Homo-oligomer: A and B are copies of this chain.
Amino acid sequence: MDVDERRRPKRLPREVRERQILDAAVLVFSRHGYHDASMDEVSEVAGVSKPMIYAYLGSKEDLFGACIRREATLLFEAVTAGVRDALAPDMQLWHGLGAFFRFVGENRESWRVLHRQAASHGGPFNDELLQMRARAITLVTGLLTRSTPRPERDEQARLSTEALAAALVGSAESLADWWLDHPDVTDKMLASWLMNLAWMGFGDLVDGKVWTPS
């Protein structure tokens, strides 16, 4: 047995080091934002020297990208795990929303990095984020489309459906933000409120009831 087992092990497999670094980076980026976060702080929090970070994960930008990718993947997996194909479309949406809010509630830092920090960047991060959001919109669009009885809908209708999906996704994001200032609310409440807005509103559209300004 080692005399001093608590000492930080010097040599760890690359995989472990990378996770340590990414964990630290997510924390630091979520705290200060991309620019105000310093590689020094990341290395300090991770307990790893800076050259290691550069060796394993590349530049600051690369590191940030890796954070975004990992967190986005986790979020997406959580949501899709909730959406079971076998269920009816409304139930799928319901479970997806539930999974989304649950993830946000349990991973505040991840959400902050994804929603706030990454959004304020032109270029690569934005692209990845947009892709993420696009996938979410596609998913929701599918649910909405499948729930309509008349699949022969025209191009105009298709576009409006996608727009609605975008609006729903945006609603969810905004509610998640709003949640930060209203901690008493539960994830379930958020999900059911949004579900009502989404499904009831859309249900009317399906029935041909349309609001018009006149």
Contacts and interface: CB of A to CB of B under 8 A. Distances in A.
Which of A119, A170, A172, A185 is packed against the most chain B CB atoms within 10 Å? A170
Contacts of A109: none
A45 to B, nearest CB: 17
A175 interface: yes
Contact of A163 (B164, B185, B200): B185
Contacts of A200: 200-205, 209-211
A120 B130 contact: no
A78 interface: no
Nearest to A194: B167
Contacts of A193: 160, 163-164, 167
B174 A170 contact: yes
A177 interface: yes
B171 A168 contact: yes
A196 B201 contact: yes
Interface string A27-64: 00001111110000000000000000000000000000
A169 interface: yes
A170 B168 CA distance: 9
Contact of A170 (B33, B159, B171): B171
Contacts of A196: 164, 201, 204-205, 210-211
A194 to B, nearest CB: 6
Query: Closest 10 CB pairs between A and B?
Result: A170-B174, A201-B201, A120-B120, A35-B35, A200-B204, A167-B171, A166-B178, A200-B201, A197-B201, A199-B211
12 contacts: A94-B213, A119-B120, A130-B181, A163-B175, A163-B193, A164-B196, A167-B175, A167-B197, A168-B171, A170-B178, A195-B213, A200-B203
